[in-house]
Structure 1
Amino acid sequence: MSVSTGTVLGTARIGKRTKDLTKRLEPGDIAVIDHEDIDRVAAEALVERAPAAVVNAARSTSGRYPNAGPQILVDHGIVLVDDCGDELFANVADGALLTIAEGTVRAGASTAATGIRQSPESIAMAIEESRENLSEQLELFARNTLEYMLREKDLLLDGVGAPEVRTALDGRPVLIVVRGYHYKEDLATLRPFLRENRPVVIGVDGGADAVLEAGWDPDMIIGDMDSVSDRALASGAELVVHAYRDGRAPGLERLRELGLQDRSVVFPAAGTSEDIAMLLADEKGASVIVAVGTHGTLEEFLDKGRAGMSSTFLTRLRVGSKLVDAKGVSRLYRQRISTPQLVLLAVAGLLALAVAMWATPGGQATFQLLGARWDDALSWFTSLFATRPATGT
């Protein structure tokens, strides 16, 4: 909470992984993170939890590319203190009461860290400067794309390496859900599609929790299993563990601890988990692949902050016309017809019908009959209130 102009007081909630921290944040807390180049998805997740401030050990905008996260936080009135350094985590304990004054973060009476308090003006300047580095990022992306294409040509061209799964995909529509841009709104908009087509629902890591939150059950969960809840893993879905190309699968250890290894298969592949979800659905004969929250634009690729995103670009080329990207579909239906507009439209339709009927002899006879009925009803109604003459005795 704000205790005075420019000063913020709140309880510290610490998490180097922003997506894990947001699960513990309460309104008014101070999020203590270590997240270079805060992306749009992370910023929107933080905004949803309504912290009083975000204190970042790293730089929220490194200058690598114009990321939207810091702007989103500040636009929602969340104080952002940047580039506080490693001493932030050494000096702040989870649950400690923090006071933020300008760029100084205090835990009790001692100074825990000092950073840069961002403003709309400083963020706009950083974004403008980072635009100059886009050409370098595009060159790096192109090199990574070529390297991935040469290394994974068998998987991209022939599907070699896709494991056998129990879930039947052949000839069926498949819905792939990733916790990405507008995934909640798009899932809500796709409810009629889910009801009518009953697709195979694949949650990619935390996307499985998004499916459960929307009121559906995932048929399959694909990923390295680091950001999906125990509840989702125990939902009965088939589990496909994304492993490194050499076969190492850290996610299997978690499944063993939960006793779920018997329901899992391993998929060794480079790239991202959403890539292998698309490749698996395509390889197993899905009739159409509807993707929610997946990455498809340059901003999203750069937001992900990893060279492997070039694989997503090539995977989309591999899947081809089967892929229907539902990202942003909710925006198409955001401007709905209001109730007054519907009433006006109905009145205009009735007037047009009345004019058309009046132009025909049958219509004129109908109006005359209705008029007579109306006069009879009006006369009966007025007679109820008419003064009756007094009767003598």
Structure 2
Amino acid sequence: MDVQTIVDECLELWRDPYPHLARLREEGEKPLAVFCSYTPEEIIHAAGFTPVRLMGAVRTITYADAHLQTYCCSLARTDLDMALAGELDFLEGAVFVQTCDTMMRLSDIWRRNTDFPFHGDLVLPIRMGEDVSLPFLVEEVHRFRRSVEDYVGEAIWDDALEESIHVYNRNRRLADRLYKLRTTSPGVLDGLSATACLAAGFWMRREKHNEMLHELLEGLDTGGQPGRERTPLLVSGSVCTTPDLVELLQELGADVVDDDLCSGHRYFDNYVDEADTPEEALARRMWGRVNCPAKHQSIEDRVEHLVRQVQDSGAAGVIFYLQSFCEPHLFDVPYLRERLQKELDVPSLVLESELQSFSRGQLRTRLQAFLETISGV
């Protein structure tokens, strides 16, 4: 398959993954929903399920408002709305990670109001990255593994878990190569294509995604001439449910050269140590990776990480793309923007999105104004 065909198929999947997920069930796979990049997907994979990421949808809310307040984020509301409407009946169940208040309450509401066979919860310590929290996290990974074993009625052997860890580590290495191409070989692969090819993996078996990424990377001409010059940008936030943001930036003459998204760079950050015992290794990866704003850690760590990303990628500006009412992310933004301006003289833009009232036209206007500010027009 040629590179453009792979990219086009990934973009189509990113725009609307749900028909594809329904087909997975028809083909004999058992899709199990996850909502968060902290989920130890290797355990789910080793048990024979296909972990799939739910990231909301652009839709009008019909059922969810009876259960979640309108000031809850649209990711939770639209996912719940699809479940209550019966549009996610192809799922085996769902796994919830206790990060923010909305996701913790969504787990309770989901359990009480849906009939999926499996319901899993993962309780993470608030103070991630500190010595005091690691033993708790190891025990929680162990408890989650046992809950999956109880559901399937058989043990998840260490051999199977180690194989899944190997598969996912390969995926992280391939994703890292994919992302680095944008700075090491400018013009070979644009930000829209790279992000789409990473996102597509959320909705397929990891082995298949590995094969796809390998084929894509082997098919790219890294010795080709760079394309026309574009304004390099970095996007920070939680998730990009649709390609609209990156597509619009490309149409306006910019390119996303890196991101700080939990559906992007943060998803594949850090590897699982394959020399360690599986549960300890999975816990250590979560414990040592770049923290989500919903977890307590010195904000200096986030600042230093973001500053380093901007410097390494050569980004001329940062777009904070956030879900409306996402308090953990919104709390961090003023300080992050201030430090980016002071230390790097890099401007930033804050965009808030609601999936139930998404406006591509308004988004385009604000992006165009920001790019004109950067270029001095």
Q: Smaller-chain TM-score range?
A: 0.3 to 0.5
Q: TM-score, normalised by structure 2?
A: 0.32
Bigger radius of gyration among the two:
1
Higher strand share: 1
Give the alignment's TM-score, normalised by structure 1: 0.31
